[in-house]
């Protein structure tokens, strides 16, 4: 990395005798003053009274000369570095981080200021180079992921058609098999596996190539209740209760299809968490001035901390037949709506997932990632 900033000169400077800039300024002034005073005394002693006026003129001339010297010294010692600093700051502001001030070689406080300035510019330059390097890495990673996403979407698309064919053939074979044929059980397993692959592939396709959202002002409670109805069909022995909000919710801008999918996913996870040791699932609503929330509570097995930190990662699942895509998809959909999903869990006691959506959204379309 180009350091640009030559520290050796500064170090060389530091070894020179250090003198405050005030002393540097005052020394020549004091010298001239002393000279003038001596001259005045000498001339006064050696001249007669009549020549005193001439001495006064000479002394005045001397004072003017001294003032000129003071101004010049100030210009050289103080004003010039300040002007240079101003100029270099303007260059830095324009984006040139190769600049350095020459007065950094001075061995006084002004030199210190120069060295600090040069050092600061060097640090800025290094930070900028680091940011540019990180940006390049991120860009190439994003391109890489985009290509992978495209490939996954293409593959998923290709897999779905033959899969539908296999499911169809299974159906026909099953229909033709006698009822007592043991192959029927195998066919059932194959059908379940095909459905499982189809679920994974569909979720993958949804993640890689999300459909355009259809946002509208709609009844969020109705959307969530619709999902609860679907969940009950899968719930078997787990009761799914819906507690209506105490105060009616205003229409909430959302894509009912997408939010239905999110709530259904949370409900099915909750139901599955209650399967082993029993439990109940309860959905409730809350609102404040700016947001509404749908909470899905279960009194199931809870989520261990090491699992909890991974549940939103794509393909993370603890279930034999899980896809591990439900929660990552849910989070993406809710975030596209300008909302968030929070989770709290108590091991052995249950979990609570809360979807929070804004009551007013400026523009969903600006967040629409579909094409
Ligand atoms: P999947 O359900 O296919 O496994 P998800 O992304 O929906 O994928 O869930 C990821 C994981 O999060 C699940 O495998 C499970 O371990 C955990 N999980 C989610 N919801 C709950 C819940 N209510 N109770 C316990 N574990 C849960």
| Beta carbon of 319 within 6 Å of any ligand 1 atom | yes
Cα angle, residue 329 at apex, residues 327 and 331 outer, rounded to 5°? 70
| Beta carbon of 261 within 6 Å of any ligand 1 atom | no
What is d(CA 148, CA 304) in angstroms, rounded to the nearest whole number? 32
pLDDT, one tens digit per residue, over 163-220 is 888 888 888 888 888 888 888 888 888 888 888 888 888 888 877 777 788 999 999 9
Arithmetic mean of pLDDT over the chain: 84
Q: What pLDDT score was predicted for residue 304? A: 96
Ligand 1 mutation pick, 317, 345, 347, max ligand atoms within 8 A of CB: 317
pLDDT, one tens digit per residue, over 142-152 is 788 778 777 87
Q: What pLDDT score was predicted for residue 31? A: 73
pLDDT tier for residue 158 given thresholds of 50, 70 and 90: confident
The closest-lying atom of ligand 1 relative to the alpha carbon of residue 351 is 23
pLDDT tier for residue 70 given thresholds of 50, 70 and 90: confident
Cα angle, residue 84 at apex, residues 80 and 85 outer, rounded to 5°? 115
Q: What pLDDT score was predicted for residue 80? A: 86
Q: What pLDDT score was predicted for residue 275? A: 85
Q: What is the mean pLDDT of residues 81-99?
A: 92
Per DSSP, 210 falls in state P
* pLDDT for 363 beyond 60: no
Q: What is the mean pLDDT of residues 108-125?
A: 92
* pLDDT for 368 beyond 50: no
From atom 24 of ligand 1, which residue's Cα is the shortest distance away?
A: 273
pLDDT tier for residue 18 given thresholds of 50, 70 and 90: low
From atom 20 of ligand 1, which residue's Cα is the shortest distance away?
A: 269
| Beta carbon of 314 within 6 Å of any ligand 1 atom | no
* pLDDT for 119 beyond 80: yes
Phi, psi (rounded to 5 degrees) for 345 = -140, 145
Buried b (16+ CB within 10 A) or exposed e, 292-325: bbbbbbbbbbbbeeeeeeebbeeebbeeeebbbb
Q: What pLDDT score was predicted for residue 47? A: 63
Nearest of 174, 340, 188, 160 to residue 262 by alpha carbon:
340
pLDDT, one tens digit per residue, over 4-14 is 444 444 444 44
The closest-lying atom of ligand 1 relative to the alpha carbon of residue 329 is 6
| Beta carbon of 327 within 6 Å of any ligand 1 atom | yes
Out of 151-165, 247-261, 292-306, pick the least confident.
151-165
Nearest of 297, 307, 288, 237 to residue 270 by alpha carbon:
297
pTM of the model: 0.59
Torsion over CA: 17, 23, 29, 35 (sign)? negative
Q: What pLDDT score was predicted for residue 37? A: 77
- Written as six digits, the tokens of 167 are 């499911």
Cα of 299 to ligand 1 centre, how many Å? 14
Out of 121-125, 275-279, 307-311, 326-330, pick the least confident.
275-279
Cα of 329 to ligand 1 centre, how many Å? 12
| Beta carbon of 354 within 6 Å of any ligand 1 atom | no
Cα of 365 to ligand 1 centre, how many Å? 30
Q: In whole angstroms, how far apart are CA 199 and each of 193, 203, 228?
A: 10, 6, 20
Share of the chain above pLDDT 70, in %: 86
Helix-helix angle 326-336:183-208, to 10 degrees = 30
Helix-helix angle 52-74:21-46, to 10 degrees = 170
């Amino acid at each position: 990395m180009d350091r640009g900033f030559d520290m050796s000169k500064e170090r060389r400077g530091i070894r020179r005798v250090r003198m405050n800039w005030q002393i540097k300024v005052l020394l020549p002034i004091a010298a001239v003053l002393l000279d003038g005073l001596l001259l005045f005394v000498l001339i006064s002693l050696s001249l007669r009274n009549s020549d005193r006026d001439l001495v006064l003129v000479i002394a005045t001339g001397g004072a003017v000369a001294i003032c000129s010297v003071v101004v010049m010294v100030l210009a050289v010692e103080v004003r010039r570095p300040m002007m240079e600093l101003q100029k270099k700051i303007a260059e830095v502001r324009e984006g040139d981080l190769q600049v350095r001030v020459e007065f950094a070689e001075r061995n006084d406080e002004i030199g210190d200021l120069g060295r600090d300035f040069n050092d600061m510019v060097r640090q800025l330059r290094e930070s900028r180079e680091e940011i540019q390097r990180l940006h390049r890495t991120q860009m190439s990673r994003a391109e890489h992921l985009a290509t992978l996403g495209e490939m996954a979407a293409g593959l998923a698309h290709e897999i779905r058609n033959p899969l539908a064919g296999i499911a169809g053939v299974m159906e026909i074979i099953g229909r033709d098999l006698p009822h007592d044929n043991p192959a029927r059980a195998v066919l059932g397993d194959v059908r379940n596996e095909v459905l499982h692959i189809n679920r994974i592939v569909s979720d993958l396709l949804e993640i890689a190539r999300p459909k355009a959202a259809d946002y509208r002002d709609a009844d969020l409670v109705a959307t969530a209740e619709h999902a609860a109805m679907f969940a009950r069909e899968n719930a078997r022995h787990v009761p799914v209760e819906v507690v209506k909000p105490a105060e009616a919710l205003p229409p909430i801008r959302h894509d009912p299809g997408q939010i239905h999918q999110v709530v259904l996913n949370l409900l099915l996870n909750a139901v599955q968490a209650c399967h082993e040791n029993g439990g109940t699932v309860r959905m409730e609503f809350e609102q404040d001035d700016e947001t509404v929330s749908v909470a899905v509570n279960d009194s199931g097995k809870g989520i261990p901390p090491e699992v909890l930190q991974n549940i939103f990662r794509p393909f993370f699942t603890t279930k034999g037949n899980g896809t591990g895509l439900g929660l990552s998809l849910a989070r993406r959909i809710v975030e596209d709506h300008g909302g968030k999903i929070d989770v709290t869990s108590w091991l052995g006691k249950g979990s609570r997932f809360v979807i929070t959506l804004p009551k007013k959204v400026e523009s969903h379309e600006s967040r629409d990632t579909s094409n």
